[in-house]
Amino acid sequence: MALHKDFPKDPYAILDPNIRWFPADEDLREKGAIQKLLPPLVAGLRKKVKEWRDKNYDGAKVMMLQKFNVD
C-alpha cells in the first residue's frame, strides 16, 4: 500500500486529491502511473469536490433551498 509522505494521521482530515492512497508503490506516483491505476472519473470527481470545498461550498445554500422549496 502506498501512502504519500504528507498523508495525514487524522482519520477525519479532508485529503487533497494529490495525496490520496492508491493500490501501488509510491514510486509509481512520481512516474505518473497513478492515472492508470485509478478510474478517471474518480480522480476528476475528487478534484472537483476539492475545488468546491476551497470555494466554501459555493452554491450549496441555493441547492438546499431549492430542494426543500424554501423561500
Q: Residues 6 or more apart from 66 whose CB is under 8 A from it?
A: none
**Rounded distance between C-alpha atoms, residue 7 and residue 15, angstroms:** 8
Give the type of residue at 71.
Answer: D
- When pLDDT is cut at 50, 70 and 90, the band that residue 24 belongs to is low
Percent of the chain with pLDDT over 90: 6
- When pLDDT is cut at 50, 70 and 90, the band that residue 43 belongs to is confident
- When pLDDT is cut at 50, 70 and 90, the band that residue 28 belongs to is low
Count of Cβ atoms closer than 10 Å to residue 55 Cβ: 10
Considering the entire predicted model, what is its pTM?
A: 0.55
Contact 19, 4 (CB under 8 A): yes
Is the per-residue pLDDT at 26 higher than 70? Answer: no
